[in-house]
Amino acid sequence: MPKKPQPRADNLRRAVAQEAARIMYEHGVQDFRFAKRKAAERFGATDEAVIPRNAEVEAALEEYQRLFGGEEHVESLLAQRLVAVDVMQVLREFQPRLVGPVLQGNATPHSDVQIHVFADRPETVTFRLIDRQIAYEVGEKRVRMNAERVLAQPSLEFEVDGQPVEVVVFPLDGIRQAPISPVNGRPMRRAGLEEVETLVDAPA
């Protein structure tokens, strides 16, 4: 029978999660693994048993935002969601879906607005951006579909009102299966334009 974690280990695990959350919020780190490593280094934690799961760090981040974010967090999140609505309206023909921290409500001021779109050819999405005179950079986003399958999807990165946006282009049938979340390992939540508009209109 495995040993139960000791109280000291539990406390250290929580402390690492809280420090990782602080690093993500204050320094704009979006990589859970990097934030956990830096937090663990601060506490001299090397035992895997005291390294929190991503979901624990996300919960600590939400708590940090409640305690220290205040009105600034509310305003920042609203601004990010308004940018999401603007971009999704521009790309409406590609069935855009908002994903990630801006949808979940735990985005930091440094978080990208992450949007999935669906097209038979990625170039058709770029043509739409060109039509709207939106300058962009082409990249690649690795997304995990299940435990064994990782895909490299084309991405388009640009800014709207100073807010970084990442649009990941999936094939048309990609709308039927969302990638799995790096936080909890379950399919990512995706929200269409109407749902995001509802979030924007909802009282804080």
Tell me the three-class secondary structure of the chain, residue by residue.
CCCCCCHHHHHHHHHHHHHHHHHHHHHCCCCHHHHHHHHHHHHCCCCHHHCCCHHHHHHHHHHHHHHHHHHHHHHHHHHHHHHHHHHHHHCHHHCCEEECHHHHCCCCCCCCEEEEEECCCHHHHHHHHHHCCCCCEEEEEEEECCCCCEEEEEEEEEEECCEEEEEEEECHHHHHCCCECCCCCCECCCECHHHHHHHHHCCC
**What's residue 64's pLDDT?**
87
The pLDDT value recorded for residue 128 is 97
Q: Which two tokens stand for residue 107?
A: 């985005």
**pLDDT at residue 3 tops 80:** no
Q: Provide the β-strand partners of residue 75.
A: none
Q: How confident is the model at residue 175 (pLDDT cuts 50, 70, 90)?
A: very high
Mean pLDDT of the region 29-34: 87
**Which residues are CB-neighbours of 157 under 8 A, at least 6 positions away?**
136, 137, 138, 139, 164, 165, 166, 167
Give yes or no for residue 123 having a pLDDT over 90: yes
pLDDT of 6 = 55
pLDDT of residue 203: 60
Predicted pLDDT of residue 7: 54
Res 4 pLDDT > 60: no
Q: Does the pLDDT at position 183 exceed 50?
A: yes
Task: Kindly state the average pLDDT of the residues 137-164.
Answer: 94
Neighbours of 106 (CB within 10 A): 23
Q: Does residue 2 have a pLDDT over 70?
A: no
The structure's pTM equals: 0.83
Q: In this structure, are residues 58 and 94 in contact, taking their beta carbons and an 8 Å threshold?
A: no
Token pair belonging to 64? 């940090």
> 18 pLDDT exceeds 60?
yes
Average pLDDT, stretch 130-135? 96
Distance CA(157)–CA(139), nearest Å, equals 7
